[in-house]
Amino acid sequence: MSSSFIREFSHLWTGSLAHYHAHRNDEHLNALYEDSLRYVGLHLENDLCRSEYWSRVSLRRRLAVLLFLVDRGIVERSVRNGRHVYAPLPHAEDWVARQPAMRPFLKPTLELVAALRHELARRTRSRKA
């Protein structure tokens, strides 16, 4: 992804990711994008490819929605066992459903949240095995 796209996109953040505007060096922003892009492109691919919506959109769109949810504090980005994971908060589905601006994208956004939950469940099962 181009640095200009990444920088431009980050200006839309007003919540937990807003501090990325102040970074003078793009390394942190690029690392966030690369890590998040890898997550939506690899870890969520099997779940999202079954969706009529997500199977047709670009990785950039997936990334944009994921980071929007992180910025708004609905999905928590954390490190578990040395890897970044994206965990929806318990009320994520309710929050998404209450957002008037998201109504046209309600089903796809809920599918993304479900894919995030499914990925976390897979990780938990694989660690117990």
Q: Given this model, what pLDDT does residue 105 score?
A: 94
- pLDDT band of residue 12 (cuts 50, 70, 90) is confident
Residues 26-47: tens digit of each pLDDT:
788 888 989 999 999 999 999 9
Q: Where are the alpha helices (DSSP H) in 22-105?
A: 27-38, 45-48, 59-71, 92-97
Count the Cβ atoms, other than its own, within 10 Å of residue 100. 6
Report CA-CA distances (Å) from 43 to 1, 3, 11, 19, 128.
19, 24, 26, 26, 18
